[in-house]
Amino acid sequence: MRVAALGLGARSVAFLGLVLATSSFALASRMDELVIALGGDNEAARAEARQLLPRESVEVVPKLLPLMAGDDEQVWRAAFNVLSDLIGEVGVPGREAERRIVTDHLMTLLVPEQSAKVKMRALRLLPVLVPDGYALTPIADLLADAQVRERARAALVELGTADAAAALRAYLPKADATFQVALLDGLSQVRDADSIDACLKLVDSPDARVRVAALRSVAWMGNPSLIATARAQLLAADDVLKAEARNVFVRLLYTTETRGGNWQILVETYLGLLAEDDRLLKEAALAGLGRIGDGTCVVPVLAVIKSVDNPTRAIAIEALRTMQGVDVARALVEAYPVLDGALQASLLGVLGSKQNHAVLPVLTQAASSGEPAIRMAALQALAATELPDALEALMAAGRAEAAEERAAARKGILQVADALRRAGKPKEAGRAYAVALGFAGDDDAARTALAGVAACPIPAAFEVVMEVAGRESLKPQAVPALTAVAGALVAAGQREQALKAYETIRDLGGGTETMRLVAKGMKDLGADIDVSALLGIVTNWWVVGPFELGPENAAWNQALIGEPNVDLNARYMAGKRRLDWRQVVSQDERGLLDLLKVLGPAQQAIAYAYTEIEVPQETPAVLRIGVDDSERVWVNGEKVFEHFVARGLVVDQDQVPITLKAGRNVILMKIWQNTLGWEFCVRITTPDGQPVSFTQRSAK
Amino acid sequence: MVIVLAGTVVAGAAEPRLRFERQRIGDVIYETACAFDVDKDGAIDIVSGEFWFRGPTFEQRHRICELKRVDDYYDNFSDYPLDVNGDGYLDLITGGWWGKTLQWRENPKGEPIPWKTHAIDECGSVETTRFWDVDGDGHVEAVPNAGGNVVFYKLIRDAQGKGTGRFSRHEVKMGDCGHGLGFGDVNGDGRGDFIVPEGWIEAPEDRINGKWTFHPDFHLGSASIPIPVHDVNADGLADLIVGMGHDYGLFWYEQRRDNAGERSWVKHVIDADRSQYHDLVLDDIDKDGQVELITGKRYRAHAFSDPGSLDPVGLYYFKIDGGKFRRITLDYGPAATSSGAGIYLWVADIDGNGWKDIIAPGKEGVYLFRNMGPIEADQ
């Protein structure tokens, strides 16, 4: 049916809708207008109707059916799309009644009077629409219609319900062979248990294609009882059907495998197939054994390997690799000695993958083979075992002449170590990392090993870590490793070595946290150490003051004590008061010294603080000073910093680059007190912020 | 003791094979299961842990109780059906490691409501419980492998033979009884004796009041529960079949007697390469008139700390064949796709087709293996 176009613009339609929106008549009219627009010639009006009609009620459906049954492609497609959207709308829970109404209408397109193409359109829409329990007879009847039977079959398959399956199987006896194959394939997709018997009846069909399809349709059941039949069909299949028959047979075996419960039958079937001339079948059997085989399958698979080339050989070796269980490793080891050299070499990787102690003697022996390629393969396999007992053979290879083997051994040792660490075996991993460190051929390997030692420290790693600790390039990794090992030594009661380790770390220097650990460790071991100095904090001071600042801060620029020279025995007069140097030691963990407590209350005043430290060698450093209020600083008689501002103390607020000379260094600070608090603290670090360890002159 | 390394023989291809249909029961991971008609509707139901699953489809489940859970263990190490209170409905006898108590759960006459749990005795941590007719009166007694002791609990029945809900407690051996427990007539006197890891305990004539005699004849290790007593080699002497519950190995111990009547035991290896054989059942599932040994791996018996715990799981029956022990495998593979045997499996004809089925519980899932009879009959 072709409908004349109204030619209403969007605005007109909207206006019409607005005016008439309050009456059902108006609604019906609006729906009709849209339907007319959908079937009209005006593209814009049709497009708008296409968008708006899906929002209408299901009452629009009978009005759309004539459009969908028409010949104008633009029109029937538009109607089809509107219906498709409507079907989506009513497909949600709670709208079952509407869904049924729409189904009733669409089913009318399947009557014999309708053309094949109309039926086809309806069949495309129905599968997602038909509610459960709806009579499928109109669709099932179309299975007899040669023009649309395939679409009807597809619709029933897509429906996938028990009723759909019943319709499919009911037509099986009536269908010709070609369509039987299609129906069986459909039932295969539906997986309906009630259809099994109907499908199996066709296993005896005179048509080979049907027989194969019948088996394929029930292969999903994974019923091992069908294996013999499927096998017989494969044997009887001609060249045309052979691939399909093989596919069905292998699919049946696989589904039987996944359904479970019949391992023995399956494995015996797979083993039997190893003798097949059919390469693909043999490979399928090997893959199956790789998935589920146990130790009893090893010898038969090895026998296959001897008689085949790649790719079958590679598949067989992979099967041996993927078979699980201790008995697989044991069977491989037992069979290994009588295998030819090439096969032995091929199996080394398989043996390593078993990660079982039983394979170690074979791999160890292979690692000392006269053939370099075998030695390399054995080393990789030893590493793959990830067993601590593989280390000995890897260590031996670590001393090999060939650089390639030494590298493989080093890599293998680290691989074992990492695996042990992942497995939560820190002691074994620590030992492996220590071994790896001993064999590290370059800094990268050593760094990796040191990181491992740090994570899994053991006392036995002490010597090997000490050996590399002095290498500047390894210092960032050596310090934490040695710190961790020192802790392990302490825990093991090896005090002397622990102390050596701590002293080494102290001399190497490290982060604040490291130095805290060192300090604590050494203190726990009874060492006489200056913890603060280890952390770069200056705690020992001589102070003198308060001196009056004077008008216009005059004293700030006067050498009140003859600075930068210092005489700790000197005495000074501040007004009528006599001032002496006082020795004080900060007990604060930041090294903070409260001058108000030491020197007494003061405002607008000056004090001096003096200290001496020793370092073993010339050291670029940074004085990190916090002062309330501010300061002038001399190091070894040279003024290095000056600041004159009223402020509170913030740790490290002034950072002064200096160079400490080897031996004794003197530091003098002139400290200004404005009002309220009067305090300071000093620590010394390297330019990159690590504490500088030093010895302080003792404040007696 | 002599150890003979025999190994497992894999069955030949010519032997008829039983076909099984495997069905996962719910999505539960309890280690115990049994089957009986809970609601007396004529269909066998499956009981496992906190639920019973309505037969014959086992798709609908009903809660029995809430079980204490510790890591991936549920405090429920047996599920044995017994009409404890004489109301005509089968109740459950159970117990767990953490609860340290032997218990029975009262069947609410098949109603789909929670069951009431009653304590029988605080017997110590229950590894599992087994049920044997210890005193030969035709009724089973409950024997928990618990507290290092061998104690059995006898249901007190009324004059009509109905359970009263009460149990009497009978000590066999107190102390030094570790992991592993068996029962059977070791010395051929017609009375069942107990087997513990360090020896066997000879039954007196009066098994309720008499003194049981311990014979420290062997060291079985961390043995299975049960330790079946069976004349493996048909020489007229009872032998022992022992699984390693927490290690590799399945063995049988041959009983020998010399001319002087001195008893000795020879250890034979059935399987050295698979581990955690915790539960062993003897039953004739292929209907050849001979019992088979039905067993498998208890997956994560001690989490992953037991030797072989990462190896594949498996469910098997062994043809005993005079001691050749041919293994027939039903399932073998990763726990995600395969079944082991749990700590308390069940063998019975559940679907009524005349062939005994297996319910294999476990932390990998509870599976029903429907025995469909020989595959040759289908072909």
Check A262 against B20: CB less than 8 A apart: yes
Phi-psi domain of B333 (left: phi exceeds 0; alpha: psi -120 through 50; beta: other): left
pLDDT band at A26; cut points 50, 70, 90: low
Closest-CA residue to B295 (of B231, B233, B358, B366): B358
| Residue A379, CA atoms < 13 Å, CB-side half-sphere | 27
Which CA distances in Å does B132 have to A315, B155, B223? Answer: 51, 12, 18
Contact A263 B332 (CB under 8 A): yes
- Of all residues in chain B, the one with the smallest CA distance to A222 is B21
Residues 6+ apart with CB under 8 A from B326: B8, B9, B10, B11, B318, B319
CB-based contact A57:A63 (threshold 8 Å)? no
* Cα–Cα distance for residue pair B102/B170, rounded to 1 Å: 14
C-alpha distances in angstroms, B137 versus A651, B40, B68?
88, 26, 35
CB contact under 8 A, A260 and B248: no
Are residues A216 and A205 in contact, defined by beta-carbon separation less than 8 angstroms? no
Cα end-to-end span (Å), chain B? 48
Q: Confirm if B45 and B37 have CB atoms less than 8 A apart.
A: yes
Can you say how many angstroms the Cα of residue A519 is from the centroid of all Cα atoms in its chain? 39
* A576: confidence class by pLDDT, cuts 50, 70, 90: confident
Chain B residue with minimum CA distance to A292? B333
Per-residue pLDDT of A534-553, as tens digits, reads 778 999 999 999 999 999 99
Mode of pairing for the β-strands spanning B61-63 and A638-642:
unpaired
Q: Do A292 and B332 touch (CB under 8 A)?
A: yes
Residue A9 has pLDDT above 60, yes or no: no
Q: Return the structure tokens found at B259.
A: 């001319």
Contact criterion met (CB below 8 Å) for A613 and A541? no
* Confidence band of A689 (pLDDT split at 50, 70, 90): confident
pLDDT for A19 equals 37
List of chain B residues whose C-beta atoms are within 8 Å of the C-beta of residue A264 = 11, 17, 328-330
Query: Is A184 within 8 Å of A191 (Cβ atoms)?
Result: no
Distance CA(B4)–CA(B48), nearest Å, equals 38
Say how far apart CA A351 and CA A332 lie, in whole Å: 7
Query: Does the pLDDT of residue A6 top 50, yes or no?
Result: no
The answer to whether the CB of A541 falls within 8 A of the CB of A610 is yes
B244, B271, B311, B328, best to mutate vs chain A, most A CBs in 10 Å = B311
**Integer distance in angstroms from the first to the last C-alpha of chain A?**
116
Identify the DSSP state of B278.
E
A263 → closest Cβ in B13, B273, B331? B331
pLDDT at B210: 96
CB spacing of B375 vs A224 below 8 angstroms: yes
For residues A215-239, give the mean pLDDT. Answer: 91
Asked if pLDDT for residue A17 goes beyond 60, the answer is no
Q: At what angle do helices A279-292 and A298-307 cross, to 10 degrees?
A: 150
A-B CB pairs within 8 A amount to 74
Nearest CA of chain A to the CA of B192: how many Å?
35
Q: Please classify residue A158 by burial: count the beta carbons closer than 10 Å to its beta carbon, then call 0-12 exposed, 13-18 middle and 19+ buried.
A: middle
Alpha-carbon gap, residue B293 to B281, rounded angstroms: 6
A104, containing H or E segment: helix A96-107
Is the bond leading into B56 cis (omega within 30 degrees of zero)? Answer: yes
Kindly tell me if the per-residue pLDDT of A415 is higher than 90.
yes
Q: Assess B41–A contact: CB distance below 8 Å, yes or no.
A: no
Q: Which pLDDT score, from 0 to 100, does residue A13 have?
A: 41
**DSSP E strand stretches across A129-241:** none
Among A92-106, A307-321, A521-535, A551-565, where is mean pLDDT lowest? Answer: A521-535
**Cα separation, B28 vs A694, whole angstroms:** 66
Query: Mutate which of B9, B364, B379 to test chain A, going by most A C-beta atoms within 10 A?
Result: B379
- Identify the residue with better confidence: B12 or A218: A218
Burial class of residue B305 in the structure, from the number of CB atoms within 10 Å of its CB (0-12 exposed, 13-18 middle, 19+ buried): exposed
Q: Are strands A630-635 and A663-673 parallel, antiparallel or unpaired?
A: antiparallel
Residue A56 pLDDT: 87
Could A260 and B337 be called an inter-chain contact, meaning their C-beta atoms sit closer than 8 Å? yes
Of A258, A264, A271, Cβ closest to residue B329? A264
- Between chains, do B10 and A296 touch, taking CB under 8 Å as contact? yes
Using one digit for the tens of pLDDT, what is the confidence trace for B88-137? Answer: 999 999 999 999 999 999 999 999 999 999 999 999 999 999 999 999 99
- What is the structure's pLDDT at A399? 87
Q: What's the CA gap between A100 and A122, in Å, rounded?
A: 15
- Residue B10's pLDDT band (cuts 50, 70, 90): very low
In what helix (H) or strand (E) does residue A630 lie, and over which residues does it extend? Answer: strand A630-635
Mean pLDDT, residues B283-302 taken together: 96
* CA pair distance A428, A452, nearest whole angstrom: 11
Residues of B in contact with A424 (CB under 8 A): none
Per-residue pLDDT, averaged over A92-119, amounts to 94
Please give, rounded to a whole number of angstroms, the shortest distance from the CA of B107 to a CA of chain A: 32
Chain A nearest-CA residue for B310:
A325
Residue-level pLDDT at B140? 97
Please tell me which of the candidates B13, B21, B273 has its beta carbon nearest to residue A261: B21
How confident is the prediction for chain A on average, in pLDDT? 91
Mean pLDDT of A326-342: 95
Binned at pLDDT 50, 70 and 90, residue A12 comes out as: very low
| Burial (Cβ within 10 Å: 0-12, 13-18, ≥19) of residue A167 | buried
Q: Name every residue in A having a CB less than 8 A away from some CB of B.
A: 223-225, 228-229, 258-265, 267-268, 271-272, 291-292, 294-296, 324-327, 330
Cβ–Cβ below 8 Å for B330 and A292: no
Beta strands in A353-411 (DSSP E): none
Closest CA to B44 of B252, B349, B267, B379: B349
Q: How far is CA B103 from CA B94, B115, B147, in A?
A: 5, 12, 15
Comparing alpha-carbon positions, the chain B residue that sits nearest to A226 is B379
For residue B8, give how far its alpha carbon lies from the nearest alpha carbon of chain A (Å). 10
Give B17's contacts in chain A (Cβ within 8 Å): 262, 264-265, 268
Does residue B200 belong to the interface with chain A, where contact is any CB pair within 8 Å?
no
Specify burial of residue B253 (Cβ count, 10 A radius: 0-12, 13-18, 19+).
Answer: buried
The Cα of A268 is separated from the nearest Cα of chain B by a number of Å equal to 7
**Radius of gyration of chain A, Cα coordinates, nearest whole angstrom:** 45
| Residue B334 C-alpha, separation from nearest chain A C-alpha, in angstroms | 9
Q: Is the pLDDT of residue A25 over 60?
A: no
CA distances from B178 to B150, B225, B304 (A): 10, 11, 21
How do B2-4 and B263-275 pair as beta strands? parallel
B11 contacts on A by Cβ (under 8 Å): 264
The answer to whether residues A247 and A280 touch, using CB atoms and an 8 Å cutoff, is no
- Which one is predicted more confidently, A648 or B16? A648
Distance of residue B9 Cα from the nearest chain A Cα, in angstroms: 9
R_g (Cα) of chain B, nearest Å: 20
- Check pLDDT > 70 for residue B259: yes
pLDDT (0 to 100) of residue A527 = 79
Nearest residue to A338 (alpha-carbon basis) of A288, A307, A299, A292: A299
Separation CA A296–CA B10 (nearest Å): 7
Q: Is A185 exposed, middle or buried (0-12, 13-18, 19+ CB in 10 A)?
A: middle
> What average pLDDT does range A145-167 have in this prediction?
97
Q: What tokens were used for A547?
A: 């001196």
Q: Whole-angstrom Cα distance, residue B16 to residue B374? A: 6
Token code pair at residue B342: 């749990």
A261/B311 CB distance under 8 A: no
Nearest-CA neighbor of A329 among A345, A306, A353?
A: A353
pTM: 0.80
Q: Residue A27 — pLDDT band, cuts 50, 70, 90?
A: low
Name the 3-class secondary structure at A611: strand
pLDDT in tens, A248-289: 999 999 999 999 999 999 999 999 999 989 999 999 999 999
State how far residue B313 is from chain A, nearest Cα, in angstroms.
Answer: 9
Across A348-352, A401-405, B224-228, least confident range: A401-405
Q: For the domain with range A533-696, which CATH number is right: 3.30.2420, 3.40.50, 2.60.40, 2.60.120? A: 2.60.120
Taking CB atoms and an 8 Å limit, are B375 and A225 in contact across chains? Answer: yes
Per domain, the residue ranges of chain A are 533-696
- B319-336: pLDDT as tens digits: 999 999 999 999 999 999
CB contact under 8 A, A261 and B13: no
Cβ separation A324–B312 shorter than 8 A:
yes
Residue B201: strand pairing partners: B194, B214
Average pLDDT estimate for A232-238? 90
All residues at 6 or more sequence positions from A298 whose CB lies less than 8 Å from its CB, including other chains: A320, A323, A328, A331, A332, A335
Nearest alpha-carbon partner for B368 in B7, B23, B108: B23
**Residues A617-626: tens digit of each pLDDT:** 999 999 999 9
**Taking CB atoms and an 8 Å limit, are B273 and A327 in contact across chains?**
yes
CB pair distance less than 8 Å for A326 and B339: no
Q: How far apart are CA B319 and CA B326, in angstroms?
A: 5
Beta bridge partners of B48: B51
Determine the average pLDDT of the residues in A467-482. Answer: 90
Residue B194 is which amino acid? F
In this prediction the ipTM stands at: 0.93
- As a whole number of angstroms, the distance between CA B196 and CA B145 comes to 9
Which pLDDT belongs to residue A24? 47
- Residue A4: per-residue pLDDT: 37
Please state, in angstroms and rounded to a whole number, the distance separating the CA atoms of residues A102 and A83.
9
CA distance A425 to chain B (A): 13
List of chain B residues whose C-beta atoms are within 8 Å of the C-beta of residue A272: 13
Task: Report the distance separating Cα B352 and Cα B347, nearest Å.
Answer: 13
Q: What is the mean pLDDT of residues A144-150?
A: 96
pLDDT surpasses 60 at A572: yes
**Nearest-by-CA chain A residue for B311:** A325
Cβ distance B311 to A258 less than 8 Å, yes or no, reads no
CA distances from A489 to A81, A427, A451, A506 (A): 79, 13, 17, 16
- B22 contacts chain A (CB < 8 A): yes
Q: Tell how far CA A444 is from the center of its chain.
A: 25
Q: Do A327 and B367 touch (CB under 8 A)?
A: no
Interface of B with A in 270-329 (CB under 8 A): 273-274, 308, 311-312, 328-329
In A262-400, where do the E strands start and end?
none
**Predicted confidence (pLDDT) per residue in B340-355, tens digit:** 999 999 999 999 999 9
CA of A229: which chain B residue's CA is closest? B379
Q: Check whether A532 has a pLDDT greater than 80.
A: no
In this predicted model, which residue has the larger pLDDT, A365 or A10? A365
Cα separation, A508 vs A478, whole angstroms: 9
Instruction: Give pLDDT, residue A18.
Output: 39
The answer on pLDDT for A8 being more than 50 is no
Supply the pLDDT for residue B11. 46
What number is the average pLDDT over the span B223-249? 98
pLDDT digits (tens, 9 = 90+) for B46-65: 999 999 999 999 999 999 99
